[in-house]
Amino acid sequence: MATIAGLISSPNRLNPLHHPDAARPRRDEVLAAMLEDGYIDKSAYDAAVSEPLHAREVYAEGNDAPYFVDFVKKELAERYPPQVLNGEGLRIFTSLDVHMESLRRRQSRTILPTLKPSIPSSRAAEAKDRLESCLVALEPQSGRIKAMAGGRDYHSSQFNRVTQSSVSPVRCSSR
């Protein structure tokens, strides 16, 4: 719990999966504050500080369009009460084109590594692995979403840059 509480100040920089050397001292800092404020005793503090970080990979359902599925789940949750969504017999149909989604995944893996970040060359190699992209493919006649990619890799980040980002896209294509 101390690791999770410590993440609040900087979730990316203190991510225990990617930066355990930064996450552990922050966890220990939170534990020290808990000890000082009387939430835990000295023996609990000592036991917790001696524990290694137990970061686990995020479990992602095995589907072909995880960003799209998350988007649909969020939309449904906003429109229907939980008892309707969790009831038996509910069938949900979407506009996703699985073939287009597959092409999108393949293109992302091919194109992103070839892009050069617009930053000083001293940090270019580091930034190249952090380049992100997003895409939404719409059917012009109906506005239906045919494919959606919220980022480079759902396993690494579930942040959907299509629906959650407030920054305008750098480059658009109408191909």
Is residue 18 domain-shared with residue 80, that is, in the same domain?
Answer: no
Mean pLDDT of the 96-111 span: 83
Question: 58 in a domain, yes or no?
Answer: no
**119 and 84 within one domain:** yes
For residue 114, the number of C-alpha atoms closer than 13 Å in the C-beta half-sphere is 5
Task: Kindly report whether the global pTM for this prediction surpasses the value 0.75.
Answer: no
Does the pLDDT value for residue 100 go beyond 80?
yes
Mean pLDDT of 57-78: 81
Per-chain mean pLDDT for the chain: 83
pLDDT in tens, 139-169: 999 999 999 988 888 888 899 999 998 765 5
* Domain match, 74 and 144 both: yes
| Own/partner long-range contacts of 16-21 (Cβ < 8 Å, ≥24 apart) | 16/53, 16/55, 17/55, 17/57, 17/58, 20/53, 20/55
**C-alpha to C-alpha distance for 40 and 61, rounded to whole angstroms:** 36
Q: Are residues 92 and 143 in the same domain?
A: yes
Instruction: Using pLDDT thresholds of 50, 70 and 90, give the confidence band for residue 128.
Output: low
pLDDT in tens, 6-22: 889 888 888 888 888 99
